[in-house]
Structure 1
Amino acid sequence: MYYKGIKECPKCGEVELGLGKHNGYAVMQPVNKMSFGSEVEYIICTECGYIIESYVKKPEKFKGTIN
């Protein structure tokens, strides 16, 4: 599977990738800012379980958190 420019697992070479997410209590929250935060999504190798990439779904919630 080709996803967001990633063609294969850099660890084992598997080409079938999956998409997972953290949500609920596992959200990423901005420092020093009142916000519910954002879910974290992961691109995962379906063969070895390696987390290839992670990112927040709503990056705009983190603007202004570093001076």
Structure 2
Amino acid sequence: SAFTIKAGSHSALHPGQTADIYRDNEWQGVIGALHPSLLQQLDIPQAVYLFEVRLSSLLKARIPA
């Protein structure tokens, strides 16, 4: 089954630049830009993007032919 991306939120990620990843309406992960306040605290001068995905979900995925 296909993955779905929906607007999401996470305290460590930038509001409006965060998305939740679903498969069969079940949460599978999150992707987004690191929150600007964390970039400043960590003295990182450029945007940082990160993701977290359940490995079991990826292992079950199939690439369409």
TM-score, normalization: structure 1? Answer: 0.33
1 or 2, which has the higher helix percentage?
2
User: Which structure is higher in strand share?
Assistant: 2
